[in-house]
Amino acid sequence: MAKEIKFSLLYRDMWQSSGKYVPTVEQLLEVAPAIVDMGCFARVETNGGGFEQINLLFGENPNVAVRKWTQPFNDAGIQTHMLERGLNGIRMSPVPADIRRLMFRVKKKQGTDIARSFDGLNDPRNLESSIKFAKEAGMISQAALSLTVSEVHTVEYYTKLADTLIEMGADEICMKDMAGIARPASVGKIIKNIKDRHPDIPITYHGHAGPGFQMASILEAAYAGVDYVDTAMEPLAWGTGHADVLAIQAMLKDAGFNVPDINMKAYMKVRSLTQKYIDDFLGYYINPKNRLMNSLLIGPGLPGGMMGSLMADLESNLESLNKWLAKNDKQEITLDDLLIKLFKEVAYVWPKIGNPPLVTPFSQYVKNLALMNVMQMERGKERWSIIADNIWDMILGRAGKLPGTLAPEIVQLIKEQGREFYDGNPQNLYPDQLNEFRAEMKKNNWDFGQDDEELFELAMHPEQYRAYKSGAAKTAFEQDLAKRRAATQVEKPQPAPVDAPANGVTNNFQPRQLVINVDNEEYMVYISYPENDGIPFHPVNKAVPPQPKVVDNRSDFSNGKIKEVISPLEGKFYLTKDPSETPLKVGAQVKVGEIIGYIESMKTYNAIAAEESGKVTEICFSNGDLVEEDDILVKLN
């Protein structure tokens, strides 16, 4: 009898791997019935990663979104699954244990069946609690192996890791090939080893299409005994995303596997609706290059899920760098130049800092460190001159044990800066906090929500939740979207006039819509031409950016030469990064090397230290203000 392989749809990850946002709850509810009607999915990914933060940025209630989005699949008997980051829960930074435990309880109550848990360092200590908490809440615990390629990350390494996670109680294993760079033969060997040792443990293969290995990896996984394959579908398949379910089904069927049939009427409906959402507004946040496969990704091994944000980061940093180059009479560089420099630096940096698997958040950390190195070296400064606090935590063991060995130059840098290694359980560094957030909820007279879900949201995403509650998040999103739409109208090139052909047709042979007949039923398919009209990608408004509000934090302390603390990069300025810190104030005495604040850039906090001592006479920006490179942050005398 042919081996059965089931399919899972990554409708959330399809969007996240392409751009910044996912559909609104109204859009998700519109497409859900058609996904169900496709009849080929045993599972659908409904939550995890940045899903809830994106809802907060929209000004939507993420708990309402999760409950409504999971309901159609619950009703249809389709299992739902979420992705969570172990110690980091569903955010980028570590989460106290009491909040992690509450997360699983809330998500199960909201209709999520399976918790896919991964740790960015593959440290079992960070997954042990996830496995325990998921099972306590009544969820299926699916522990993930974050795949990458190095001398450390061997078939034997991953086989032993799977053994450990199953011994801890994991119900299933996921082969999380987050960058799509795992070599197909090795993928098959790891799965076969796990199946030989644990024949009753279901295994899922999850991979990205970008570097070009994915279809071969899926076939090898199938021959080795995989049970589930994660899939995507057009118009968001391939590129930085995942292979399309049609191609996967056809390949596996031809290979003799028992795979589900696909209702093509419903497939075309989901395809059409997804394109409609792109044309509505989500395409404003999708770079068309993310639709392309790129074998250059094999070298740096960066995951598909972060490529959307990567291109946005590169564009903003390129603008900053070219300003500096022009000001210093140097030749400007292109986006492709910067991309190649970044990829080379990632390949250089990665083994130097212990080969962390390139998955969230450590893929961002490695990329950010490499990009900072490139930016600094292009300006004639030293490599390693800016290392964000989050990255130091990873290097020093505060996020878990690195799989590789630190290079001597990094060890020397640690000694020079007087930093210390940590080899304890990372969770012990983050004490319980739920009581603090309970007090805040009561103080603000905020509803705790069904099953304490609103309490959970505040505790998991404090800043975003507060901005959502105040209405600031919705306002900021609407303003940003309005600017992008306005920029498209202003910058959209007008097509040259074309002489009408004899038959009167003047569509330039580029249809905007097609009507496709499937089984005697018609479907409207929307077609976009990014090279011609900016859809699905709409350029960011290049007009003058909004100026930060003027902050009158000056004092009469000045009695001599003014010394300035300058921002070394663009980002958001913060006086503190957590509640335990005391913010800098006018009149305070600052010593050389003392931290005066932080610049949050590319999801990491970069500490800004005073290079001279003095008394604070002016703090030039408020918390959360956008600053540019070379802006004066603080004045001293």
Q: Tell me: the pLDDT tens digits for 152-170?
A: 999 999 999 999 999 999 9
**DSSP state letter for 89:** T
Q: Is the pLDDT of residue 140 over 90?
A: yes
Strands 614-619, 595-601: pairing kind: unpaired
Q: Cβ of 557: how many Cβ atoms within 10 Å?
A: 16
Q: Whole-angstrom Cα distance, residue 288 to residue 535?
A: 8
Q: Whole-angstrom Cα distance, residue 349 to residue 410?
A: 10
Query: Who contacts 189 (Cβ-Cβ below 8 Å, separation ≥6)?
Result: 155, 224
Residue 253: strand, helix, or coil? helix
Residue 566: strand, helix, or coil? strand
Task: With beta carbons less than 8 A apart as the criterion, state whether 525 and 275 touch.
Answer: yes
How sure is the predictor about 32, in pLDDT bands with cuts at 50, 70 and 90? very high
Phi, psi of 566 (to 5 degrees): -100, 140
Give ranges for CATH 2.40.50.100 in the chain.
563-636
Task: With beta carbons less than 8 A apart as the criterion, state whether 357 and 333 touch.
Answer: no
Q: Is the pLDDT of residue 496 over 70?
A: no
Q: Is the pLDDT of residue 228 over 90?
A: yes
Q: Is the pLDDT of residue 469 over 90?
A: yes
* Longest Cα–Cα distance in the chain: 88
Tens-place pLDDT, residues 410-448: 999 999 999 999 999 999 999 999 999 999 999 999 999
Q: What is the CA radius of gyration of the chain?
A: 25
Model pLDDT, residue 521: 52
Q: With 0-12 CB in 10 A as exposed, 13-18 as middle and 19+ as buried, what is 210?
A: buried
Model pLDDT, residue 319: 80
Question: Which of 117-126, 418-427, 516-525, 587-596 has the least mean pLDDT?
Answer: 516-525
Task: With beta carbons less than 8 A apart as the criterion, state whether 615 and 587 touch.
Answer: yes
- Which pair of structure tokens corresponds to residue 337? 């130049």
Full DSSP string of 164-212: HHHHTT-SEEEEEETTS-S-HHHHHHHHHHHHHH-TTS-EEEEE-STTS
Give ranges for CATH 3.20.20.70 in the chain.
1-493+505-541
Tens-place pLDDT, residues 330-380: 888 888 888 888 888 988 999 999 998 877 788 888 888 988 898 888 888
**DSSP state letter for 258:** B
Task: Specify the CATH superfamily of domain 1-493+505-541.
Answer: Aldolase class I (3.20.20.70)
Closest alpha carbon to 391 in 427, 429, 349, 428 = 349
pTM of structure: 0.79
- Mean pLDDT value of segment 571-582: 76
Task: With beta carbons less than 8 A apart as the criterion, state whether 222 and 228 touch.
Answer: no
Model pLDDT, residue 501: 42
Q: Whole-angstrom Cα distance, residue 610 to residue 616?
A: 11
State the residue for tokens 């760098």: 321
Domain 563-636 has CATH 2.40.50.100: yes
- Mean pLDDT value of segment 514-524: 49
Question: Which of 51-65, 513-527, 541-555 has the least mean pLDDT?
Answer: 541-555
How sure is the predictor about 198, in pLDDT bands with cuts at 50, 70 and 90? very high
Q: Is the pLDDT of residue 500 over 50?
A: no
Tens-place pLDDT, residues 90-125: 998 899 999 999 999 999 999 999 999 999 899 999
Model pLDDT, residue 230: 98
Model pLDDT, residue 146: 94
Question: Which of 121-130, 138-147, 286-295 has the least mean pLDDT?
Answer: 286-295
Model pLDDT, residue 537: 39
> What crossing angle do the helices spanning 462-470 and 472-491 adopt, rounded to 10°?
80
Q: Is the pLDDT of residue 312 over 80?
A: no
Task: With beta carbons less than 8 A apart as the criterion, state whether 275 and 53 touch.
Answer: no
